[in-house]
Each structure stands twice: as structure tokens, then as C-alpha cells.
Homo-oligomer: A and B are copies of this chain.
Amino acid sequence: MIAQRIAALRRIMKREGWDAVVIPGSDPHSSEYLPARWQQRQFMTGFTGSYGVVVITPTHAGLWTDTRYFIQFDKELAGTEYVLHKLRVPDAVSPSQWLGTNLPAGGAVAIDGSCMSVAEVEELRAAIHPQGGRIADRPDFIDELWPDRPATPDAPVWVLADQYTGRSAADKLSWLRGEMAARQADAMLISSLDDVAWMLNIRSADIDYTPVAIAYLLVTKADATLFLSLDKVQTADVQSHLAALNCRVCDYGTVAAAVASLPAGTRLWVDGGTLNYALYGCAIQHLGSGVMSAPLPIRLAKALKNDTELTGYRRAYLKDGIVQTKLFKWIEETLAAGTPLNEMDIADKQIALRREQGEYIDESFAPISAWGENAALPHYEPSHEVCSEVHPKGLFLLDSGGHYLHGSTDITRTIPLGPLTDLEREDYTLVLKGMIGLATAVFPRGTRGANIDVLARIPLWKALRNFGHGTGHGIGHVLCVHEGPQDLRQNVYDQAMLPGMVTSDEPGLYREGMHGVRHENVILCRELEKNEFGDWLGFETLTCTYIDPTPVLPELMTDEEKAWLNHYNEYVYIRLLPYLDEDEKRWLRSKTIDAQL
């Protein structure tokens, strides 16, 4: 089937005179996770990873992805024509660089400009320019290959109340207009879905696990216009919420026309890093140099969580702590009873337990429930159709999260289900040392993620081990589970870690065909104190699920690390006590207080 789709695309290429086609994996909003309609990459390849770029020429079909997905590529694309191009490895060649070398002189590269950002297209253009290459922008060229392509989703919009957001949409709009005035902007076009949702305190269910609506928001000095499917805003409370904000509603398809009818001389602020190339082109055509491209201030403001949001996160992690205590006890007892259990049974049980906690919306991403060697795929996604049985030995890894009305979670625990090998224990211990090393960091204001990322890696590095993904990402408040602008990784240098940022701390270690370990807590950046040497920041751990000490090799831990683990587990035990029955209390005590190092 994949071969037929490649062949069909090549027939179109021949007809149109295209020498290459680029299919990045995004939608008109630069989203990371996509509605079915925009899963062109998966349609063309069968690859289900969350990151990748496809380039097809008459003689080559390549997929570029990073270390997280190398093993998955081999599994999912075996037998197809696709060649893996590795990213985030030494001497990696990007798709643009590859085209710069491999495109014939004067060649044409076809793209869907509605699904690539201005920045992506400009990078591509710069790479092929020296050889006289040109871009052919053909929105939705995939339609011809994909007769049953899904429609734009139209889940209803709902309002996230101020009691959860801590800040009214009216206040956010007023703040944004101040930012616009400071940059002499008359209007702002917002295309990132989580920016739109955050600005208006609205949510929806258009993307699996990400409670946003497919929409654009155009804000001017006096009013605002939300562009989305009108079917989505039929309830009275949503309509009155938007009306109170002086926010009109227009059909999704009319955004380009609205941009084109802005008064001449309007200074329009957009973010070329995320705005799609087609809409940007429309703005440039109409407003010319009136279009100002710069990062929107929403991204940073959204990342600096307010006290209401932080209280909501703490409640969410408390709930997850209760859920996971019950879940891990249930797994242990189920296995002990000899009852068959598979990875999806565990994921489903956890969802049921989260729902019981109340104010639950959905999972914040597809749960990674992985036993044994499956855990060696950092982003393994089991399904009801394909998943493994779980047996009482080795390590089981569960990376999951939930959206509650008051906050979202992301947590990974690796738990022993029975006897472990020495290597499993070593890896478990070294990864834990890394997680603790970062969680206990203290640093002066101005420090970036790339400066402290090593604290989560150095225990592994000293044992000549490493993991091929970032150490941490920001986490949205009832929004995207991966949220910028901060990042904890080696190669991202542009954003300082600031008080109010909520970020994951998730080192790991993966051995193909053997096992995988990841420990993930979520940490809040907080002010400590100021003195003559600096303005000092540190982290508070928000996650409230015990970490099993029994696999730890104590001789590899420092006294400080052991004390941290013992103290953390004691804290978890004490916080969860009021919410557990007697049996659960005894069980959690056996995993924490009674198991101290």
C-alpha cells in the first residue's frame, strides 16, 4: 500500500514537473500532534513516530527522524522503500541540506505551504537556492492521493473557568494589547493552537490528548476575531464568553480573506517561526512591509505559570500519586495471582483510576506502557491490537499523563516486576542519580537549559552511557504536553530557565532487545534568594509518586542522593496517606518508609 502511494505521488511529480516533494509532519498551525486530516507523513509512510520529515524524489524515498525513533523506523518501515536519515547524531544532514546536494540544478521542490512554517520554507529555499532550485507551493496536494482524507475536526469548544486559569481572558487580551502597543503593532495574527486557547481560556478536543480547537485568532486594538468551524461554538456559555471579550466568530476558511481585508497601513505582528507559509504569503501580499515577524509574547507568558495554575498542578500530581499507588499495587497483586496482564490492561486501568479522581478530561498523551525490551523504544506506543503480555520479572516502564481541569501531568516510573539483572539495576540507579542531580540544581538567573542539562547525564556519562533524547520539556496547563519556550537539552541555548516554568526531568537509558529505564519527575523553577553572587533559582518537585528503592545499587549512590530518595518517598507517603485505605497505606509504606536506603 505504501509502495502504491509512493508510485502515485511520483506520477503526479512527473506530470507537474516536480523533482522532489517534501512532506514535513505538521498542520497549518505548526502543531506537534496532529488531527487525522494532517497526518500526511503517516499516510505516505506508515511511520507513527511524532517527529519526521519525508522527502521523495523519482529515485529516493527518505524519512528523517531523531534518535528516539530509529528502532521504531526499523520496525514500522521494514520492507518499504524508505531510507532512514538520522537526525541528532554527529554530522547529521538535514532534509534541506540533503536537497541542497541532491536536487538537480534548477529543480523544483513541491511543498504544501499551508503545512510548513515560513521559517521552514525559508531554510529550504536557502539550501536549494545555490543550485537554482525553486519551491512549488501547492496547498493540499495530498488530496489527490487520499480520496478518503478525514475532514477538519469539529469538537465543541468549552470555557476553562477562571478558577482554573487564575487569569481572565479579558485580562490576557488587555495585556496582549499593551505588548502590541509597545511594538507599534496594530494587529496580531495568532496561529499556534495552544496560544489561541490560552489567550481566550477556551479548550476543545480537536487533537487527541491536546485539548485545543483548530482555530486562528486575530487581535486588533479594539476587538478580536476567532476563526474556526462555526459548529464548534453553538453553546450559550461559549457564545456569551466570547461576546463579553468583544471577540467575533468567523468561519475557519475566511482567515486569509480577513487578513487581506485589514486596512492598508496596518502593522501586523506574526511569528514566522510558526505561521504557515501560505497565510504569511497572503499577509505579505496585502500589507508588504507592514508585516512584522517576531516571536509572540504569548509563548513566554504562557510558560510562566501563575499561582492558581501551580496549585492546580500540585493537585493533579497528588491525584496521579493516588492513581499510581493503586495501579502499581494492582499490578503486583494481579501478577501474584497469576492472572494474565498485558501492557494495555495497565494503561486502561490507569485511565479508569484517573477518571475516578474527578475533574479528569483525558490523557495528556498516548500512554507508553512498556515491559522488558519494549521499554527500549523511548516512544513505544502499545495498542489494543499489538501489545505484550507482562510477566513478573524485569522492569516495566510507564510514561503517561492526564489532563485534569486544574492541571496536566506527565510522569514516568520504571518499576521492578520481579528478579532483575545487575545491568538493569545499574541502569536504574544511574538514571535515578541523573534525575536527582538535575532536580537538586541551584543556579543563577540567566542560566539556560543547555547549561544544566549535563547534571542529568553526568552519572551516565561517567559510565559511558547516554540517552538520545532531551532531558526535559515544558508542560502546558491543560494544553500541549510539550510546551516551549524552555527546554532542557544539550543543543538549545536561547531561553533562560525562569521562575514559574514547569519542566520535566526525564533522563533514561535504553538497550535494544534488553530493557529501558526512564525516571521522570516534573519540576517547578522557583526563586530561592538573592545575594552578592547572584539571583538564585532552584526547583521544586511537583510529582508525587514514590520511586521504588529496591532496584537501587546503594554503593553507586552518594549519601546526599540516598537522603534525597528517602526524603522524597517519605514525603510522598505522608501526602498520600489521607487518600488511601488501610491496605493501600500498608502497601505504600512497604515501598517507601520500610524500604529506605
Give A residues with C-beta under 8 Å from B: 90, 440-448, 450-455, 458, 461-462, 464-466, 490, 493, 528-529, 531, 533-536, 558
Contacts of A528 in B (CB 8 A): 464
Measured in the bound complex, the distance between the Cα atoms of B492 and A450 in whole Å is 11
Specify how many copies of this chain sit in the oligomer. Answer: 2
A-B contact pairs, 28 of them (CB 8 A): A90-B535, A440-B462, A441-B458, A441-B461, A442-B458, A442-B461, A442-B462, A442-B464, A443-B454, A443-B461, A446-B490, A447-B454, A450-B451, A450-B493, A451-B453, A451-B454, A451-B490, A452-B454, A454-B455, A461-B536, A464-B528, A464-B529, A464-B531, A464-B533, A464-B534, A465-B533, A466-B533, A466-B534
- Which of A448, A452, A464, A529 has the most chain B CB atoms closer than 10 A to its own CB? A464
Chain B proximity of A491: nearest CB distance (Å): 9
Contacts of A458 in B (CB 8 A): 441-442, 455
Check A90–B451 contact: CB distance below 8 A.
Answer: no
Measured in the bound complex, the distance between the Cα atoms of B535 and A48 in whole Å is 30
9 additional A-B pairs beyond A446-B490, A451-B453, A461-B536, beta carbons within 8 Å, are: A440-B462, A442-B458, A444-B461, A447-B454, A448-B490, A450-B450, A452-B454, A455-B458, A465-B533
Chain B proximity of A498: nearest CB distance (Å): 12
- Which of A451, A535, A558 has the most chain B CB atoms closer than 10 A to its own CB? A451
Chain B proximity of A358: nearest CB distance (Å): 40
Chain B proximity of A308: nearest CB distance (Å): 28
The chain B residue with its CB closest to the CB of A558 is: B558
The chain B residue with its CB closest to the CB of A460 is: B533
Given known A464-B533, A466-B534, A558-B558, contact A490–B447 (CB-CB < 8 A): yes
Contacts of A531 in B (CB 8 A): 464
Contacts of A444 in B (CB 8 A): 461, 466
Chain B proximity of A561: nearest CB distance (Å): 10
Contacts of A440 in B (CB 8 A): 462
Contacts of A442 in B (CB 8 A): 458, 461-462, 464
Measured in the bound complex, the distance between the Cα atoms of B455 and A453 in whole Å is 11
Contacts of A493 in B (CB 8 A): 450, 493
What 8 pairs between A and B have smallest CB-CB spacing?
A: A466-B533, A442-B461, A442-B462, A465-B533, A493-B493, A464-B536, A466-B534, A90-B446
Contacts of A451 in B (CB 8 A): 450-451, 453-454, 490
Contacts of A533 in B (CB 8 A): 464-466
The chain B residue with its CB closest to the CB of A453 is: B451
- Which of A90, A441, A461, A465 has the most chain B CB atoms closer than 10 A to its own CB? A461
Measured in the bound complex, the distance between the Cα atoms of B533 and A306 in whole Å is 40
Contacts of A448 in B (CB 8 A): 490
Measured in the bound complex, the distance between the Cα atoms of B453 and A440 in whole Å is 17
